[in-house]
């Protein structure tokens, strides 16, 4: 085992776990518990319920070890991917799937869902977890693996959002990296053409055999790009290595540079600097503002804190009322659509919602195993469609666009991530997210309901 600089020693980790478990067990019976995190990537901005006790997790935010021979890492549950990637790149390795934003935690990506441009090959982050230590609702620490005594918890933990327990340690698989990534951006006039090429490039025994990364960006119905990434040891002769942490903006480069090169580190975080394209809402893409906005604050977590501040104080709503402009409906979703339904989804979305750009990310479960709380079909290719903005609200129907999207996803046989707002009623929610499987595991590991239930967690503010 190789303990890197700044890593958490096994002894310190064991002490931190013992301290957290002690504090958890000291919380009076009947009071719900939640782990306090310094950052969040969820789009639910209400305050914590008054009967919920927050427990500090600042001692569970490090990498315990990286094993470059076995290509594994032991990581504390609240470790951000930013810190995890720094630790693994030092060994020429990276996690199989690294979600796009730096402050997403490994435990959060496994308890929720994470994707990125390796997901057509490696699936979801929880599929590269070998084992994990979990603090259950009953206050016990268990080690869950794909097989064995706690296999039921291992299987249902993904998409449970901290309602079945909390990750204390995870052992994950890693993959080797090259120093650079060469990108080629391919433009398509229609969604049908883009979907067909996506399916072709995701054939791992054919056109996709040498593709390491694949995602896409839709600017409008007549302009969509697929970006193909391949690891390379050095850039093409005469090519420059781009830097999108300064004045240049990554998503704009898709239209400007058919071929591009980034370091492996900068490729992994290419979307974080401008929160994809959402930094434009804060004026950060204006050249003058960008020069004045410190580079260290061009990050997704800074922008999200600004959104949280606005939502908490209703600043934007008050401005709309003062100017008599329409109130806005926040439409922030990631949905998985079977590739054969992608063109239909985008057609309705452009016509009825109209947000642009839109992100595309092909995804297929890595193996034959399916996961009860997010029932994607093994072997089937899906495309994640991500869109994050606001639209004019429909008077009297504040969730009209979100409900339209949820209905369309169901019609096309897709699934919706729960990190954003949820508009299903409770009966419909449990039909879609396997309430029977959830209840069985909840009853076993949190019989007294110390942790919130999944529906109340994603619909409310707990």
Statement to judge: residues 37 and 98 lie in one domain: yes
Statement to judge: residues 133 and 64 lie in one domain: yes
Statement to judge: residues 165 and 23 lie in one domain: yes
Instruction: Identify the pLDDT of residue 5.
Output: 45
Burial environment of residue 149 by CB neighbours within 10 A (0 to 12, 13 to 18, 19 or more): exposed
Report the DSSP beta bridge partners of residue 131: 171
Statement to judge: residues 358 and 377 lie in one domain: yes
| pLDDT 10s digits, 67-118 | 999 999 999 999 999 999 999 999 999 999 999 999 999 999 999 989 999 9
Residue 292: inside a domain, yes or no? no
Residue 355: inside a domain, yes or no? yes
Residue 167: inside a domain, yes or no? yes
Strands 32-36 and 52-56, bridge-based pairing: parallel
Domain boundary among 130, 158, 177: 177
Residue 197, domain extent = 180-270
Residue 80: inside a domain, yes or no? yes
Instruction: Identify the pLDDT of residue 416.
Output: 92
- For Cα atoms 100, 116, 82, give the angle at the middle one, nearest 5 degrees: 35
462 falls in which pLDDT band (50, 70, 90)?
very low
Q: What is the CATH number of the domain that holds 376?
A: 3.30.70.2520
Statement to judge: residues 67 and 201 lie in one domain: no
Statement to judge: residues 247 and 373 lie in one domain: no
Statement to judge: residues 126 and 190 lie in one domain: no
| pLDDT 10s digits, 339-363 | 999 999 999 999 999 999 999 999 9
Residue 5: inside a domain, yes or no? no
Residue 453: inside a domain, yes or no? no
Statement to judge: residues 366 and 257 lie in one domain: no
Q: CA torsion 252→254→256→258, rounded to 10°?
A: 170
Total domains in the fold of the chain: 3
Sequence-distant (6+) residues with CB within 8 A of 7 are 62, 63, 64, 65, 66, 87
Q: What is the CATH number of the domain that holds 59?
A: 3.30.465.10
- pTM of the predicted structure, to 2 decimals: 0.93
Indicate the SS3 state at residue 214: strand
Statement to judge: residues 40 and 151 lie in one domain: yes
Statement to judge: residues 42 and 130 lie in one domain: yes
Instruction: Identify the pLDDT of residue 1.
Output: 44
Mean of the pLDDT values across residues 170-196?
98
Other C-beta atoms lying within 10 Å of the C-beta of residue 410 = 15
H helices present in 223-279, as ranges: 250-256, 264-268
């Amino acid at each position: 085992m190789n303990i890197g600089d700044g890593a958490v020693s096994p002894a310190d980790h064991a002490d931190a776990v013992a301290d957290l478990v002690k504090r958890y067990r000291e919380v009076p019976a009947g009071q719900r518990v939640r782990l306090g995190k310094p950052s969040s990537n969820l789009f639910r901005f209400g305050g914590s319920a008054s009967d919920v006790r927050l427990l500090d997790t600042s001692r569970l935010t490090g990498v315990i070890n990286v094993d470059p021979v076995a290509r594994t890492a032991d990581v504390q549950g609240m470790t951000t991917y930013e810190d995890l990637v720094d630790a693994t790149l030092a060994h020429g390795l990276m996690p199989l799937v690294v979600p796009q934003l730096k402050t997403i935690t490994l435990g959060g990506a496994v308890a929720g869902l994470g994707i990125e441009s390796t997901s057509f090959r490696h699936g979801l982050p929880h599929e590269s977890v070998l084992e994990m230590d979990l603090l259950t609702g009953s206050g016990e620490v268990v080690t869950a693996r794909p097989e064995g005594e706690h296999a039921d918890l291992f299987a249902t933990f993904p998409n449970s959002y901290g309602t079945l327990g909390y990750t204390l340690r995870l052992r994950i698989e890693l993959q080797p990296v090259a120093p650079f990534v060469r990108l080629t951006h391919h433009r398509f006039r229609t969604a049908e053409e883009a979907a067909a090429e996506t399916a072709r490039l995701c054939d791992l025994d054919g056109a996709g055999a040498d593709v390491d990364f694949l995602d896409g960006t839709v600017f409008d119905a007549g302009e969509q790009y697929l970006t193909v990434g391949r690891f390379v040891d050095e850039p093409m002769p005469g090519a420059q290595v781009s830097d999108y942490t300064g004045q240049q903006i990554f998503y704009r480069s898709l239209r400007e540079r058919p071929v591009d090169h980034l370091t492996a580190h900068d490729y992994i975080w290419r979307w974080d600097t401008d929160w994809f394209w959402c930094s434009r809402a804060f004026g950060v893409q204006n050249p003058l503002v960008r020069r004045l906005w410190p580079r260290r604050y061009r990050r997704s977590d800074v922008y999200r804190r600004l959104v949280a501040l606005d939502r908490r104080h209703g600043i934007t709503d008050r401005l709309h009322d003062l100017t008599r402009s329409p109130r806005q409906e926040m439409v922030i979703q990631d949905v998985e659509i079977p590739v054969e339904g992608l063109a239909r989804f985008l057609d309705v979305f452009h016509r009825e919602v109209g947000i642009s750009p839109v992100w595309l990310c092909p995804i297929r479960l890595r193996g034959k195993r399916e996961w009860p709380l997010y029932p994607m079909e093994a072997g089937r290719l899906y495309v994640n469609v991500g869109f994050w903005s606001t639209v004019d609200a429909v008077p009297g129907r504040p969730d009209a666009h979100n409900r339209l999207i949820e209905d369309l996803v169901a019609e096309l046989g897709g699934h919706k991530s729960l990190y954003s707002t949820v508009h299903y009623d409770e009966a419909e929610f449990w039909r879609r997210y396997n309430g029977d499987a959830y209840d069985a595991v909840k009853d076993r590991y949190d019989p007294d309901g110390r942790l919130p239930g999944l529906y109340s967690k994603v619909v409310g503010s707990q």
